[in-house]
A and B are shown apart, each in its own frame.
Chain A
Amino acid sequence: MAKDILRKSEVFYDNFDRKPGLDKMTTTYCPGCGHGILHKLVAEALEDFGVQDRTMFVSPVGCSVFAYYYFDVGNIQAAHGRAPAVATALKRANPESIVIDYQGDGDLAAIGGAEILNAANRGEGITVFFVNNATYGMTGGQMAPTTLIGQQTMTTPKGRTVANEGYPIKMSEIISTLKAPVYVERVMLGDVKSIRKARKSVRKAIQIQIEQNGFSFIEVLASCPSNLKKTPIDSQNWVREVLQENYPLGVYKDISAKFVSPDKSKTPVNYKDLPKVLNIEETNIDKNRIAEFTNKQFHEQFKIAGFGGQGVLSLGIVLSEMGMRHDFQVSWIPSYGPEMRGGTANCSVQLSSKNIGSPVVDRPTVLVAMNRPSIDKFEDSVAENGYIFYDSSLIDIEPQRKDINIIAIPATKIADDLGTTKVANMVIVGAIIEKLGIMSKDVVLDSIGEVIKKQKLININKRAILKGVEFIQNLTK
């Protein structure tokens, strides 16, 4: 479609508001940078194909790390070299999305060599743009795997030698030897003619993803005037005359004419079939028993902290497992040091009647503190009108906050009286259930056996929970 006006693509933000500083109109790229040219080609293609609303752009580490400043599409910035892995997840989780994996040579060919090879080998339905400028741009011009023999960089001041650094790595050639990739081409941004050719390849690669769900890989020879220490025009000439000599352009693989994407509809497991696939029994709780709890609207965020070995993480697991039995949305993430015992540990649990956006808990509504450092560390973070449950048999200070409910339980003492201090966490489970009133304690007591692995410990755990419940009941009397 011939356009009347060639102008900034709709896929770019009007103003780059995410960019710090006063200038919100220009990119962070140096004058003459190849990234800007490729960005424009990609943006134009996404706009023309009408897929802006379902595009996910994965940016790498490198100068294009800030691609999310510019592209008004879904954006994720991946860890160094890991963009193909992130792109894989995005594509698998949402096969309808158009996933653009944009990487530089340091990112893709060095630290991310394993990721790109395996993503290509699996034939993920993503489009990879690999910007090869023969140097590490962002970090100041060190040698990249693609640096040419004899090329001077910060780390090869006398020029790259075969003896010391080996040969430049040719990614397009390597990728094209694999069976799964559909389209592999090397293009350059060396002059207007080659840019127009690159434009066609960019469009074809994205089209392959849209229509055939195949893996496409476009290597783009681009200039980096700042690190090549040349003017923009000279460095573009260098790309055309020197870089191209060493990295021959052309289509290395194209099976798009006869490629049919493997039928992936059979691979996803239906959610309902999961217990069968995993060979586990499904837990069915009688709906009448939990009816009074399922209609409540609430969102409780727990931070549970203590020493490793106190059962901090399993306290969280029990809460979230029991939440699941009440048809709540739940999340649990642990955070602990390398030690099994003795170090500090905490976990974040959320129980909610609505979908949970992120499992991270910054402002807990309930803090469970099983040792003193936990009070010191997390007391201030508790949300207003929240709760602190703390083990008063181990903690010799009292929380200072006045705007929250503070409940001191001698949990370790109670557990010790039952026979083992290890069930102190269950005493607190009982206290939480009774105090918050968001779960049926009968259901919890009946199903605790499904969560506790050692059968002989079930009874003592049940007794501990009951003690916690009783403790709160006695408090309120």
Chain B
Amino acid sequence: MNNTKNKAHVSIRWEECKGCGLCTLACPLDLLSLSKSFNSHGYHPSVYEGEGCTGCGSCFFSCPEPGAITVFKKWHLMTETGYCPNCDNDYKVYKRETHPDELFCSNCLESIKLSKVE
């Protein structure tokens, strides 16, 4: 099982989730749960806190919000932080073995292109 660990990651935007819970039902491994605290709209958003996401996308397709869930297949969430120019801050980044120069910020979920000079 260690091989599949961290091979995929699901990220849920706290403010965009309406807490309907359909993704928690959809996840075949029961990895998602509704948070105990609520967001600025008063919803209890869904959160992914554990490990073991396989990137199947079930939560993504069952979610009614266009941008609430992002599924990173075959990506690692790096433990060290990196600078995100979109957020103008340091955040953990998603990285892929096949394209090491393309990163995704775990905060804004936007792509960070590393320039070759760096």
Contacts and interface: CB of A to CB of B under 8 A. Distances in A.
A223 to B, nearest CB: 9
Interface in A12-32: 12, 23, 25-27, 29-32
A3 B66 CA distance: 17
Given A6-B57, A31-B43, A231-B21, A12 B62 contact: no
Nearest to A225: B20
Given A4-B75, A25-B15, A36-B64, A232 B41 contact: no
Contact of A6 (B18, B22, B71, B104): B71
Interface stretch (A83-91, A188-196, A266-274): A188-196
Contact of A9 (B21, B57, B66, B69): B66
Interface of chain B, helix or strand or loop or mixed? loop
B64 A233 contact: no
Nearest to A29: B64
Interface string B30-47: 000000000001010000
B117 to A, nearest CB: 26
A199 interface: yes
Interface stretch (A37-45, A154-162, A316-324): A37-45
Given A31-B43, A192-B26, A192-B58, A12 B21 contact: no
Contacts of B28: 192
Contact of B66 (A31, A32, A43, A232): A43
Interface residues of A, number: 37
Contacts of A30: 18
B25 interface: yes
A467 interface: no
A192 B18 contact: no
Interface string A387-421: 00000000000000000000000000000000000
A5 B61 contact: no
B64 A34 contact: yes
Contacts of A26: 15-16, 18, 41, 65, 68
B85 interface: no
Contacts of B66: 8-9, 12, 27, 36, 39-40, 43, 70
Given A232-B22, A233-B21, A233-B25, A27 B64 contact: yes
B73 A3 contact: yes
A35 interface: yes
A296 interface: no
B72 A5 contact: yes
A5 B20 contact: no
A93 to B, nearest CB: 29
B73 to A, nearest CB: 5
Contacts of A6: 55, 57, 60, 69-71, 73
A7 interface: yes
Contacts of B16: 25-26
Contacts of A70: 66
Nearest to B98: A4
A371 interface: no
A32 B17 CA distance: 10
Contacts of A232: 20-22
A470 to B, nearest CB: 67
Nearest to A14: B67
Contacts of B63: 36-37, 40
A132 to B, nearest CB: 16
A10 to B, nearest CB: 11
A172 interface: no
A196 B26 CA distance: 12
A236 B22 contact: yes
B22 to A, nearest CB: 6
Contacts of B76: none
B55 to A, nearest CB: 8
Given A26-B15, A26-B68, A41-B61, 5 more contacts: A6-B57, A9-B66, A34-B64, A36-B66, A233-B20
28 contacts: A3-B73, A4-B75, A6-B57, A6-B60, A6-B71, A7-B71, A8-B66, A8-B70, A12-B67, A23-B41, A25-B13, A25-B16, A25-B67, A26-B18, A26-B41, A30-B18, A36-B66, A37-B61, A37-B64, A41-B61, A43-B66, A191-B26, A192-B26, A192-B28, A196-B61, A233-B22, A233-B25, A236-B25
